[in-house]
Amino acid sequence: MIFGFPIISVAIWLPIIFGVLVLSTGDDKNAQMARILALVGSVLGFLVTIPLYTGFVADTSEMQFVEMHDWISRFSIHYHLGVDGISVLFILLTAFFTPLVVLAGWQVIEKRVAQYMGAFLIMSGIMIGVFAALDAVLFYVFWEAMLIPMFLIIGIWGGQNRVYAAVKFFLYTLLGSLLMLVALIYLYNVSGGSFSILDFHQVAIPMEAQILIFIAFFFAFAVKVPMFPVHTWLPDAHVEAPTGGSVVLAAIMLKVGAYGFLRFSMPIVPDASHYLSGVMIALSLIAVVYIGLVALMQSDMKKLVAYSSISHMGFVTLGFFIFNAYGMEGALLQMISHGFVSGALFLCIGVLYDRMHSRKIADYGGVANTMPVFAAFFMLFAMANSGLPGTSGFVGEFMVILGAVKANFWYAFAAATTLIFGAAYTLWMYKRVIFGAVANPHVAELTDLNMREKLIFAILAITVLGMGLYPLPFSEIMHVSVNDLLVHVARSKLPL
């Protein structure tokens, strides 16, 4: 709190209230009002999160801006919010993307505008809630609530096969979360009747139970990340989702799963985390190598970027489970960078889709001739996706590979293949879409970016380059929290 001002609550509820307001503008007669209201709400929503960064005290791993109120006292459930160096950046990332998504859908979404914009605002608030919740039940409520707007966004504004994709998305993630609920209730009992996540961190748990809890959390979080082999919902969801949906899905929602590993699995069951780290590393490396290869032959641009996302998230889980500072900080930086880069790439594909109504690589060719400005932005984001130094995509990959060498040279060897595969699938797609002679009359008629699109891409380009050239502001804020987490995870929690 700053001067008694519940800043996290405002960050959560302001977009939700604006979302409800936007919804109340009703049908498409008032579409323009809905858009403006949504933009105002989302920009305000971002502005209110800035004090979280500027007022953040970086030399402690204690929770900051804490809010604590009774909610259901019968079960000692609290409305308990707070941030540390691990979660604070994701709150900013979430709020940062909402205005961009609103802008991206400004002209493209013509039907049910208010509902579309409202869903994104509400979802933004809920996702901030997930990152800020310190009470397990509150977390669980946000966690499950997050599914609903995304389910609607895919199911209503999606492509042809949207119902299959929406249901697959919903069931996949719901099944995972149910096991987590069981684990949370068990923890409530062993912690002597507390739902505070911070209490869970302290309670001693026998090994067998730790392993079961780890597995329960694993299903909830691994599906969201998504890790191999529970990743197959993601390509379908991305392909069918509207551009804004894909952006939020890739930029924010995938991070929630990885965040869960840091906030729940590792500190609550450290012994099981160490015990099963071999499996986690193996799955991460499969994601990097196998998914990197699978991405190569995709004929649908969105599917390709979706597979690329899975491969990049493999770096995140790899970084976590090698248990060293390079790896973990690299993984967190990779999460943030992947938010920017994959979000930007989905926006790029969206720009093409809005004009050509096709995501097939084969329908394009020679776009640089008609859309040179777009081609330049796309080049930057493609290079960032290939991990080029100077862009944000490099920082995390570099750090995780350095950390992996420290853990085991061969982990790094497998992970570093992304230098080749990542460049291959990204730049081969870029070549087929952007370079070459004008492939067909549709490409010849393309118009370059308008001011609104240029604005969106310029913001993202500055961010991607800024983070690549000067990542220190991103890393120093998480430093102490990561170090303390590593110390905490190194201590056994088995009962004496």
Partner 1 sequence: MSMQSLYLLVPLAPLFGAIAAGLFGKWLGRTWSHRITIAMVAVSFGASVAIFNDVLAGNTFNGPVYTWLTSGDTSFQVGFLIDKLTATMMLVVTSVSLMVHIYTIGYMEEDAGYQRFFSYISLFTFSMLMLVMANNFMQLFFGWEAVGLVSYLLIGFWYTRPTAIYANLKAFLVNRVGDFGFLLGIGLVLMVFGTLDYAAVFANASAHVDDIAPIPGMTVSLMTAICILLFIGAMGKSAQFPLHVWLPESMEGPTPISALIHAATMVTAGIFMVARMSPLYELSDTALSFVMIIGAITALFMGFLGIIQNDIKRVIAYSTLSQLGYMTVALGASAYSVAIFHLMTHAFFKALLFLAAGSVIMAMHHDQDIRNMGGLKKYMPITWITSLIGSLALIGTPFFSGFYSKDSIIEAVALSNLPGSGFAYFAVVAGVFVTAFYSFRMYFLVFHGKERFGHAHHKAHDGDHEDEEVSADHHHGLAPGQKPHETPWVVTLPLVLLAIPSVLIGYIAIEPMLYGGYFGDAIFISEHHPVMHELHEEFHGAAAMALHSLTTLPLWLAIAGVASAAFFYLKRPDIPAAIQKRFQFIYVLLDNKYYFDRFNDWFFAGGARGASSFLWRNGDVKLIDGLIVNGSAKMIGMLSGVVRHLQSGYIYHYAFSMIIGVFVLLSVRNWFE
Q: How far is the CB of 37 from partner 1 (least distance, A)?
A: 34
Q: Is residue 423 part of the contact set for partner 1 (CB under 8 A)?
A: yes
Q: CA angle at residue 406 from 252 to 281, to 5 degrees?
A: 50
Please count the residues of the chain.
Answer: 496
Q: How far is the CB of 34 from partner 1 (least distance, A)?
A: 35
Q: Is residue 335 part of the contact set for partner 1 (CB under 8 A)?
A: no
Q: How far is the CB of 296 from partner 1 (least distance, A)?
A: 4
Q: CA angle at residue 65 from 59 to 71, to 5 degrees?
A: 140
Q: Is residue 209 part of the contact set for partner 1 (CB under 8 A)?
A: no
Cα dihedral 67/256/335/122 (nearest 10): -70
- Measured CA to CA, the distance from residue 233 to residue 172 in angstroms comes to 7
Q: Is residue 451 part of the contact set for partner 1 (CB under 8 A)?
A: no
Q: Is residue 186 part of the contact set for partner 1 (CB under 8 A)?
A: no
Q: Is residue 330 part of the contact set for partner 1 (CB under 8 A)?
A: yes
Token output for 118: 């409202």
C-beta of 187 vs 318, nearer to partner 1? 318
Token output for 373: 């400005």
Q: Is residue 201 part of the contact set for partner 1 (CB under 8 A)?
A: no
Binding-site member from 33, 36, 179, 424 for partner 1 (CB under 8 A): 424
Q: Is residue 178 part of the contact set for partner 1 (CB under 8 A)?
A: no
C-beta of 80 vs 338, nearer to partner 1? 338
At which residue do the structure tokens 């097939």 appear? 360
Binding-site member from 193, 206, 229, 278 for partner 1 (CB under 8 A): 229
Q: How far is the CB of 200 from partner 1 (least distance, A)?
A: 27
Q: CA angle at residue 254 from 253 to 259, to 5 degrees?
A: 95
Q: Is residue 107 part of the contact set for partner 1 (CB under 8 A)?
A: no
Q: Distance from first CA to last CA of the chain, Å, rounded?
A: 38
Q: Is residue 56 part of the contact set for partner 1 (CB under 8 A)?
A: no
Instruction: Report H helices in 417-478.
Output: 418-434, 441-444, 451-469, 472-476
Q: How far is the CB of 441 from partner 1 (least distance, A)?
A: 16
Q: Is residue 453 part of the contact set for partner 1 (CB under 8 A)?
A: no
Binding-site member from 232, 440, 450, 492 for partner 1 (CB under 8 A): 232
Q: Is residue 341 part of the contact set for partner 1 (CB under 8 A)?
A: no
Q: Is residue 492 part of the contact set for partner 1 (CB under 8 A)?
A: no
Token output for 437: 């002679």
Binding pattern for the stretch 156-175 against partner 1, x by CB under 8 A and - elsewhere:
------------x---x---
Binding-site member from 401, 446, 456, 485 for partner 1 (CB under 8 A): 401
Q: Is residue 385 part of the contact set for partner 1 (CB under 8 A)?
A: no
Strand partners of residue 2: 5
Which 8-state DSSP code applies to residue 357? S
Q: How far is the CB of 174 from partner 1 (least distance, A)?
A: 13
Site for partner 1 in 272-291 (CB under 8 A): 290
Token output for 160: 């042809």
Token output for 25: 């503008």
Binding pattern for the stretch 350-379 against partner 1, x by CB under 8 A and - elsewhere:
----------------x-xx---------x
- Measured CA to CA, the distance from residue 138 to residue 152 in angstroms comes to 22
- Measured CA to CA, the distance from residue 15 to residue 45 in angstroms comes to 6
Provide CB contacts within 8 A for 148, sequence distance 6+: none
Q: How far is the CB of 247 from partner 1 (least distance, A)?
A: 23
- Measured CA to CA, the distance from residue 255 to residue 440 in angstroms comes to 39
Task: Note whether 207 and 242 are within 8 A (CB).
Answer: no
239: enclosing H helix or E strand:
helix 233-240
Task: Note whether 377 and 348 are within 8 A (CB).
Answer: yes
Q: Determine the interface stretch with partner 1 among 78-86, 315-323, 353-361, 393-401 (rule: CB under 8 A).
A: 393-401
Task: Note whether 394 and 402 are within 8 A (CB).
Answer: no
Q: How far is the CB of 343 from partner 1 (least distance, A)?
A: 22
Q: Is residue 296 part of the contact set for partner 1 (CB under 8 A)?
A: yes
83: phi then psi, degrees, rounded to nearest 5? -130, 150
Site of interaction with partner 1 (CB under 8 A): 168, 172, 229, 232-233, 235, 290, 293-298, 324-326, 329-330, 366, 368-369, 379, 383, 388-390, 394-395, 398-399, 401-402, 404-406, 408-410, 412-413, 416-417, 419-421, 423-424, 427-428, 431, 434-437, 469-472, 475-476, 479, 483
